[in-house]
Amino acid sequence: MPTQPLRVGGRYELTRPISTGGMGQVWQGYDTVLDREIAVKLIRSDAARTAEETKEFAARFRREARVTARIEHSGVPAVFDADVDSEHDRLYLVMQLVRGVPLGDVIAEEGALAVEAAVSVAAQICAVLSYAHAVPVIHRDLKPGNVMIADDGSVKVLDFGIAAVLRTDVTRLTATGSRLGTCAYMPPEQVLGGGVSPASDLYSLGCLLHQLCTGERVFDGESDYVLMDQHVRTAPVPVRAIRPDIPANLERLILHLLAKNPEDRPANAQDVHDRLAPFLPAPAPAGADAPQVPGGLPDPARPYRRPLAPRPRPASGPAAGPAPTKVLPPFHGVADLPTPPRTMISAEELAEVEEHAQSLLEEERYAQAVGLLDEAVEGAAARFGDGDDRVVELRLRRAFALGLGGDLRRALPEFDRLAAGFAAADGPDDDRALACRQQAAICRAQLGESTAALREFQSVLSRVLPLAGERDPMALDLRLEIGRLMLFTGRIGEAEECLVPLQADLHAEYGPDDPATRDAVNLLDRIGRTGT
């Protein structure tokens, strides 16, 4: 009698293991409700040692899964479910099952790829990153093991957000001295603990593209510590010194991606894709696919040669043609449509909305809270006027909901407008004006606008210090962000000058075990200064 397959979440059967790694296990599974095959990631929570840490870990897991699920691109496997299986005390992520070959296996088997194939892989990753960074979601752990070439040649980028959940995007050590995660593709700012931005993923892409073109890693130190030091201090060997037939412009792009300072790298994934485009295969939609050798590797150049091509015909027998395409009427933008009148909201309804929005925020249902607040802001402004305190409070709550939900591109202009309004009404030293400026700077830092964010943090700090002093909680938060951004942009000496006294102040105010104190000590460790 066959054994009953293990289930998680009451509905997902685990049929066979696919892989095991630092994050846990990946299983091929079956959704008994929707009758389809799936992939199930069982996430380890070993890092959580107490009940409180376990709760925080699970909340971080759900938060990252929700943000990742907003990436709408075929190169990211769809997220179907994310929860905690209470029966087995494990976190699980249910995703689209992708059939194909891991890029790591392709490199191990093939070594250096043809330029057309290498660039096709990189360009498809760029397309994925352009959508992810618009959310924004930073991958944090882009490497061959997290890239799959599907059977049709399309590239899938796996495990968005997992590094953030497991905190393997930082170079901390376990009790045994082994580092969590991999650092062969880790950008200098991540090694130094200065945080990540879209430019961090572009550096990792440069490492991947270098390896695809040469068959060798950019750096190959004999230990993790040597390897991390190479990412921070050593200039990469140009790919044409290893493989002379690589086009010079492609070499220049790879070196641009591998710049030590994130602000010296290409502006975004779209720019990188544009520079890869000349090396991509020309479209030939009418051409036949070369037969794939049994057991052979998928062709990543096919999606460019045959864009939007139908599925290949079966080996024998006629295939039905594609269904006719329905021609849709021209799309009219929002500006072409009449603006509906704003629906007013009463004071009683406003109170109900505020209560409901607060309950949604407490349940971390941020997107739903934002939708509710969007309607409430419009209705309240129509009833009471845009400058009414109740309307301003709604806008402030919506800005924080946007930030908590990861919608930083909407949150940033909201915080900027609110800060300007508070400063105009009550002066530039108003508590709410300074708090909104701080939140706007946080948004800018996470969106990769490092210089602007650093300038804003320093400007806010210059107003907080005369009012409250260096050990005020807001001043301590600002000083920590300033030190982190200085590390991020490679200003190690200035970061040290900032972090050494900050660590002493955090220790005095909060004690050695406070997360902020430990964060400052960890940042100092990255630059060879042990906190006291």
Task: Give the catalytic positions in this structure.
Answer: 141
Give the CA diameter of the chain: 81
- In the block, tokens 């460790």 appear at 525
Q: Which of 392, 452, 458, 445 is nearest to 419 (CA)?
A: 392
How far, in Å, CA of 393 to CA of 387, rounded?
A: 10
Q: Strand ranges (DSSP E) for 360-519?
A: none
Tally helices (H) and strands (E) across the chain.
20, 9
Rounded to the nearest 10 degrees, what angle do helices 269-276 and 115-134 cross at?
Answer: 160
DSSP tag of 314: P
How far, in Å, CA of 72 to CA of 176, rounded?
A: 40
Give the tokens for residue 481: 């962000």
Q: How far apart are the first and last CA of the chain?
A: 63
Return the bridge partners of 150, or none: 100
How far, in Å, CA of 165 to CA of 220, rounded?
A: 27
Helix (H) / strand (E) containing 442: helix 431-446
Q: What is the 3-state secondary structure (H, E, C) of 451-476?
A: HHHHHHHHHHHHHHHHHHCCCCHHHH
Q: Which of 487, 475, 399 is nearest to 443 (CA)?
A: 399
How far, in Å, CA of 233 to CA of 462, rounded?
A: 33
Q: What are phi and psi of 17, to 5 degrees?
A: -75, 140
161 Cβ partners below 8 Å, 6+ apart? 64, 65, 67, 68, 137, 139
C-beta neighbour count of 19 within 10 angstroms: 12
Q: 181, 479 in Cβ contact below 8 A?
A: no
